[in-house]
Structure 1
Amino acid sequence: MSQVVEVPVPPNCAVFPRLHNADFYDAWRVSTRIPSATALEAFLAVVKATPPWVDFLMALRNRIVSKLGLKNLGVLSKDGLTQRRDYQPGERLGIFTVVSNRPEELLLTDQDKHLDVVISVYQSSANSSEFTISTVVHTHNWLGKLYMLPVAPLHKLIVRNMLSKVAV
């Protein structure tokens, strides 16, 4: 199995310009078992491999934040159930909204009153099975900053775990 490696956000990916004033960001590179996959196919494979404990944590998160007036996002594993190739900007893809969907890069977002999240699934060269998943978060207020205290370390654990399930 290849390693899942934390790397700098690729300068050519769409989230790179959003790093300015970001409250959190990370990027992870993985070589997948999916030959000639598009960015969307890689994303769907990753979320399809969501372990049950991640869905449990998402359900717990949804119960807690609903009391604060934040969105119920559902569970992540539901994203992998729809294997469409033609997601258009503005359409929902599980817990995210599609910003752009090109073969080499899928850009997703979720916006709420406490923060904005943007995710890039980026393929640096055509027909490669290597992808970099980058996440950029901008908080809007104290609630967003408080929310990110437990979420940031959990995010790193979850992403590394999920990517390892599709790694070569």
Structure 2
Amino acid sequence: MSVGMGRIATAQVELVAPRAALDFFDQQSVVAADPLTSLEVWRRVMAEPLPFLDVAFKLRDAVSARFGVKRIGGFSGKVPGFVQAGDKIDFFLVETLNDTVMSLSARDRHLDVLTCITCVDHSVTITSSVKVHNWFGRLYMLPVGPAHRLIVRHMLRKLSG
């Protein structure tokens, strides 16, 4: 298993803004046991969301709601049988979906997020980019940024042989 900045997939990575304008960027890769499509990656990593994420999202919703941020409820672990661009998966909007790229966005007045899953052969990369709009978005990303990196690393480990 190679989690980290190892072999990066050559599929087109989508970002929420140009790289130089981002307030947060994380890109991690793994060599999967089998070749996967981008949607198969999402299904596998979300089949069993980390147990503490439910509590973290409840806390996030309770605090963020006081600042006018919509409650998102977290990850359900369920992915519809048919998904296409324009659909919602939990709180994400599916922006792009094909065999090699799946990009998911969440946008509000505080920040814009785009998570992009790219797959080429056995190589899987998850790239997350954030553009912050105000002080609350910056404050929000202080704990979320480091936590996000750990969560993605754990999710990618599910894919290795």
Length-normalised TM-score, structure 2: 0.89
Asked if structure 2 preserves the Cα contact closer than 8 Å seen for 1:45 and 1:166, the reply is yes
Displacement of 1:110 in angstroms is: 0.2
Q: What's 1:147 paired with?
A: 140
Match of 2:150 among 153, 157, 160: 157
CA separation of 1:37/1:83 partners in 2, compared to 1, >3 Å: closer, same or farther?
Answer: farther
Q: What's 1:130 paired with?
A: 123
Instruction: Name structure 2 gaps, 5 residues minimum.
Output: none
Instruction: Name structure 1 gaps, 5 residues minimum.
Output: none
Asked if structure 1 preserves the Cα contact closer than 8 Å seen for 2:112 and 2:132, the reply is yes
Q: What's 2:18 paired with?
A: 18
Aligned sequence identity (%): 31
CA distance in 1, matches of 2:159, 2:9: 21
Q: What's 2:64 paired with?
A: 65
CA distance in 2, matches of 1:72, 1:163: 26
Structure 1 segments of 4+ aligned residues over 4 angstroms from their partners: 7-11
Asked if structure 1 preserves the Cα contact closer than 8 Å seen for 2:9 and 2:124, the reply is no
Displacement of 1:83 in angstroms is: 4.5
Alignment length (residue pairs)? 160
CA separation of 1:106/1:129 partners in 2, compared to 1, >3 Å: closer, same or farther?
Answer: same
CA distance in 2, matches of 1:142, 1:46: 31
Match of 1:104 among 100, 118, 131: 100
Q: What's 2:40 paired with?
A: 41
